[in-house]
Amino acid sequence: MYQRLLVPLDGSRLAEQVLPYVRVLGNHLKCPISIVRAFGLPYMLESADGATIDRVSTDLRHQAREYLNRVSMALQDGGGTVSTTEYEGDPAPVIINEAEKVPDTLITISTHGRSGVTRWVLGSVAEKVLNATTNPLLMIRGKPTEDPSSSDIPGTSEDWVRPVDVKSIVVPLDGSQMAEQVIPHAVALAKSLEVSVVPTGVSTSAGEDTRVGEYLNNAAQQFRQQGVTSEVGQLLHGDPADALLDMTQRTTGCLVAMTTRGRSGVQRWVMGSVTDRVVRHSDSPVLVVRAT
């Protein structure tokens, strides 16, 4: 299903926290990895002469290239093809345009970057990409290190290749066709990673328990018919986002796969949606697929 992994980095340790998952996916999906880094010129150069701007741009490009080469060498140790590209420009459009160059590109990105010590907020690169791209995204919520200054220090190869273990894929479903558009992605990942799928739904009242439970069990059976190990559906209660977050916190080694739209899919995906809250707060990686 995926022809390439696209990995945007900004040189920070927070952004690099996606790399262990990139390594695992690259090994199992057997697809090439493209790492990109976009850099902008300092605002103080707005009034500088052309020669100065060219010199600074050349230096920044050289630094970006050296950094990407170090990351590439660390990832290539695990096998597979890794390419790197540095761009001068605004990161979000660079990422979106680069993803469109190769069909079926999976973007893997950390939700925190260089300013990761603050809360991931509207207007960040990750959110701009999420709202604008049609490509699926695997989003990792970067966690600040104990040393606040370390977010500006390039990580070591040991950081980049630390082991991560994906044991299951949690697939939130609400009965809508839009939410079910994530199923082919979940199946492809489950087969590649050789893990089980856990169809999950939320009942908001006791009267819905039977209906939702039957739907989830049917979904589990459909996963098994496609050659994927699937447990009995997990029925949750309460606020959908809170229930999902609580479940993932109790489930070691899970990956969440969901769409940006569900039952209210005719509306634009906006702040406050279930997907948005899960992406913001989940400690587990989240695969986000834009439903059509």
pLDDT digits (tens, 9 = 90+) for 86-104: 998 888 999 999 999 999 9
pLDDT given for residue 113 in this prediction: 53
- For 46, the domain range is 4-160
Percent of the chain with pLDDT over 70: 82
pLDDT given for residue 117 in this prediction: 38
Min mean pLDDT across 98-107, 171-180, 250-259, 273-282 is at 273-282
pLDDT given for residue 124 in this prediction: 78
pLDDT of 114 higher than 80: no
For residues 21 and 150, membership in a common domain is answered with yes
For residues 156 and 176, membership in a common domain is answered with no
Residue ending a domain, among 131, 160, 189, is: 160
For residues 156 and 272, membership in a common domain is answered with no
Query: Residues 260-278: pLDDT tens digits?
Result: 865 443 333 333 478 888 9
Please say whether the beta carbons of 3 and 99 come within 8 A: no
Please say whether the beta carbons of 288 and 275 come within 8 A: yes
For residues 109 and 207, membership in a common domain is answered with no
pLDDT of 156 higher than 70: no
| Residue bearing the bigger pLDDT, 198 or 91 | 198
For residues 231 and 102, membership in a common domain is answered with no
For residues 261 and 180, membership in a common domain is answered with yes
Min mean pLDDT across 77-81, 151-155, 239-243, 260-264 is at 151-155
pLDDT given for residue 3 in this prediction: 94
Residue ending a domain, among 125, 160, 195, is: 160
- Where does the pLDDT of residue 252 fall: very low under 50, low under 70, confident under 90, or very high at 90 and above? very high
pLDDT given for residue 284 in this prediction: 95
pLDDT given for residue 47 in this prediction: 66
**Phi, psi (5° rounding) for residue 128?**
-60, -45
pLDDT of 126 higher than 60: yes
pLDDT given for residue 272 in this prediction: 41
pLDDT given for residue 44 in this prediction: 61
pLDDT given for residue 13 in this prediction: 83
| Residue bearing the bigger pLDDT, 39 or 67 | 67
For residues 105 and 186, membership in a common domain is answered with no
Please say whether the beta carbons of 136 and 107 come within 8 A: yes
For residues 139 and 79, membership in a common domain is answered with yes
Please say whether the beta carbons of 22 and 34 come within 8 A: no
Find the CATH number of the domain harbouring 226.
3.40.50.620
pLDDT of 227 higher than 50: yes
For residues 48 and 135, membership in a common domain is answered with yes
pLDDT of 246 higher than 90: yes
Query: Residues 6-65: pLDDT tens digits?
Result: 999 988 888 888 999 999 999 899 999 999 998 877 666 666 677 777 888 888 889 999
For residues 127 and 271, membership in a common domain is answered with no
